[in-house]
Structure 1
Amino acid sequence: MTLFPSFAILTCLADGRITPGVVLAAVTLGLLWFFVAFVGERATFAGRRFFILANGGLSYWLLLTVLEQWTNAPQCKMTFAMLAYPGIVIAPTAWMFFVYRYAYGVSGRMRLSHRLALSLAPAIITLAALTNGWHGLFYMAGSAPQPDLPGAPIHYIHGPLFFGAAAYIYMTMLACLGLLGLGAFIARPGYRLHFVILLLLTLVPMVGNVGYVLFDWSIFGFDPTPFLFIVVAFAYGALILSNRLFDLVSVARQSIFDEFPRAVLVVNQQGKLLTYNSAAEQLLDLPPDQRGAQMVPWLVAALPTATENCTAPLRLELAHDDRLFEADIRPVLSPLGELRPVIGWTVLLEDVSQRRAEEQRLAKALARRSAQLTAAMQAQQEAETLALRDPLTGLLNRRGLDRLITHLQDQPGYSSGLGVAVVDIDHFKSINDTYGHAAGDQVLVEAAAELRHCFRREDMIFRVGGEEFLVLAPNLPPPAIVTRLQAARSALAESPALAAKMPGRRVQFSAGLAQWQPSDCSLQEAILAADSRLYQAKREGRNRTVGAEV
């Protein structure tokens, strides 16, 4: 068999047959075209051009593979194999650039070095293959069909130029592995698994090609590498699309982004608006269908430059066209940490012109009325000082208790008895220290609510100290008070609001009881007796009531 290619393409195409390999390759090619179009239309991501170009090279490679399997003549099979080399070289080269841009979040135009690599390398290697008949260094003598039957696959004897081309392709794939390995090493912890998955996917076609070259692995008689490359392309495409489609969280985020009342803009390092929401369209009069191409020069000028690598949020006021905007600028951090910390910015923009004008008018009004406001504040402070209720819980406070004691001691209606209960939250300081004072305030509010709920309307409840409460229950015997306190204790321990604020923590309280009879002692003495029993309850282990027998 001659090692020169045959350029009688129509003759080669006319002499063909349908084989399982042809069907598989044709179906795979159709799926690849559909999938690349689907991803390219719906997803905007770093390295998108190289992703499409790499899959274009794969498509061309696979198309020539279909033709190689279709034709029966050995010379035609070798011709289609040689003509496939532009795709064979472009696919891994473009894939290397895609991996770099996608994994490292690099955007921008295609550089001259990229263009040279994507044009010179395929041209040189293809020329070496097509001129094999003169030098015999790509496919060597002895390359022939095995077995010697019509349509049988060619068994190639590879020469030094072939191995040189293979070395270049392996170099691009090793570069992919190196980029992904470096990314996995330096990435933030939450992104490392993503890099490892991409690295393992990139190994798949390399393993397949090594098996084909060294061990004659094949799929229906031809090189498995393009098929494995397509599997990797599908996997990458699925990873890209998974951030945008069929994901409830992503859809919810997009919905929040679109409906957020403030203008939100995402800007890359080149100053282009990658996306913006409806509020931004209305605020800046932006077209809704030109994302990725729009620029707002006066806003871009306020952003940090790429060399500054500013990772701290900024809040600026920007003047433009007699309008004043407040811009909250937040950097978008790369998963690669310090190597490339910032890959763009999210800008929250708000027109504050009217607000600032209102603030200035209000400031003038406040200045004119400062004397009246000062007097009003003093009067309010006096009213709060004299108030009888605790502002946090709404219960009567100690001033209210003093006034009520004077009133009760003169009332004959309570001569038959007054139940006294002093209640103290257990380990309240620990709650404040562990969960903060806001949680402590919530405990006091819930305790007050449960005490109000469990006692009668005529019973009086006071907050007399930091975490201490007092209950005065007219004509209510101690056993009944114990029952109501236990109901409040159980409800407080199971409070959903406290469980949400302090998971795993059950709030408890201790209580001491006394009974007041006007003929026996003063009400103050009865309160002191109840307070003494409260401390007894603390000593006995807390979360209990002492004094039911009085």
Structure 2
Amino acid sequence: MNYSTPTLLVIALLAILVVGRIIRSPVAPGRIAFALAAVASVWWIAMVVLRLNSAELSDKILFNRLAWFGIIATPLFWSAGFLDHAGFSRVTRPLPIALMLVLSALAGFAALTDGYHHWIYTGIINTERPSFAYGWLFYALLGGMYLCMLMACLLSISQLKRASRLHRRQMIALLVATCVPWACNAAFVLFEFRLFNDDPTPFAFSATVMAVLFAHHRGKLFIAPPIARDIIFQILPDPIVVLEPSGLVLEVNPAAEKLTGFSAETVGTKLPSSNPLMQFLAANAQRESRKPLVHFTAMGKIFEVSIQPLEPWGRQGSVMIVLRDVTAREAAQKELSDAGQALKLRLEENLRLQQKLEQQAFHDHLTGLFNRRHASTVIPPVLSGASGQEPVSLIIVDLDYFKQVNDRYGHDVGDKVLASFATILSDSLNDSEMAFRHGGEEFLIVLPDTSRDQALARCAQWRHEYATRTIAELEDALSFSAGIAVAPEAGTSLAACSKAADIALYRSKISGRNNDTVWGEHLDGMAREGSVGKGPAGGHDMPVVPADRKAALP
């Protein structure tokens, strides 16, 4: 046994240890491929040990040929594991793995049958080692392995910038483990470099084995692998679609395959212009501050769209579109909006009802004027502010012969008469003036900042308009009688002024109706009969009218 045998046995033991570590490790990218590469390397090293310790040339040649099963499988599976760890997971799917096994088996079969075709070895140069002259298939297989390892290294290096610090250390360790045996094999084939007077490649695998053990122990290889990229892409419930500017689909995740118009076969095809995602390829689609919404009507789904340009990854104009299902959110927002609108309508209806109730509470339903109850609230503050410079006139109007109108023509005609006079008042009053239906055919009018003469002029204006009103059912002209009390002369309270105006109204009615009387002047021209009392203000004489006499007035 020569000096290389113990070394190779140690390497083989280390490789077996690596296989054991890999098998016990959790599922991780590259795990299966690295395990197959380690098994293939153990086979390769075992054949080298048997060759070195065989005395017969025929046995050496046989073990040398059997080693080709591992010579091809080791770099193939190593490159596949390296690429899978770097994020290129498709290389370790069942079909690529099966192809690698078939290729390794064909290479081994070609080596075993080389005595018939001499495609790998064309002759023996040294019978002691032995060493051979190489045929075309040798260089083809060697070139293929070199190309696989070169691609694995270059693609993995391209991922270093995106990798985390831990995963970057793992990939560097694997890169070193790839390059050392590759460089040793190239030196042996091209420059006849030898170790222990033999091919240094199996010995170089000691560096590979040590690198894997180091990456596993210190770098947590297979323990904390970069599995998130593939797992997130595969299990993410949000559909992800990668599109070129032309609409060519570069990638979709399983969630996106459920979208209308998508499937696993959509990759590599162009989306039709009618597809709702085509709108997000426009240049301005990426500048929207608020995430847009897209509707897949056939699915009954609404998605919120996130757009990621792929220029930093060398794909000019391409975008990654992430769709988040917001159907429930939008439905809830619509329900909330509808509920808010319904609530708004109810509030508006309640407000209208409240205004209507207020209108009914303070207004007379027939004439639309304020009612007597409201008068007791709003008039006292006006009267209390009356002064000699700013007098307030309070007028009580009584429609003449209204009872006869009701008795002769009916209450409907009477209502028309009341409404007609109320309209005259409403049309003539300004913002500060107020009119009330005082009861029956009586109306109460309050005119702030209005003197005696101005109040009489207003009554004359109303009388003229009232007399010229035409009501089809009536033949005679309409008229009214009015009593006027001017505050503060007649008092500054509603009770005092109402009483004074009522007394003045009585004088107008007993004087023949259709005229106006101002309190304080109601006794002018009258023969004083009976007792004399004090007026509402306490400073004027006032006749005490017998109750039976006042009640007899129509």
TM bucket normalised to smaller: 0.3 to 0.5
Q: TM-score, normalised by structure 2?
A: 0.41
Q: Please report the TM-score for the alignment, with normalisation by the length of structure 1.
A: 0.41
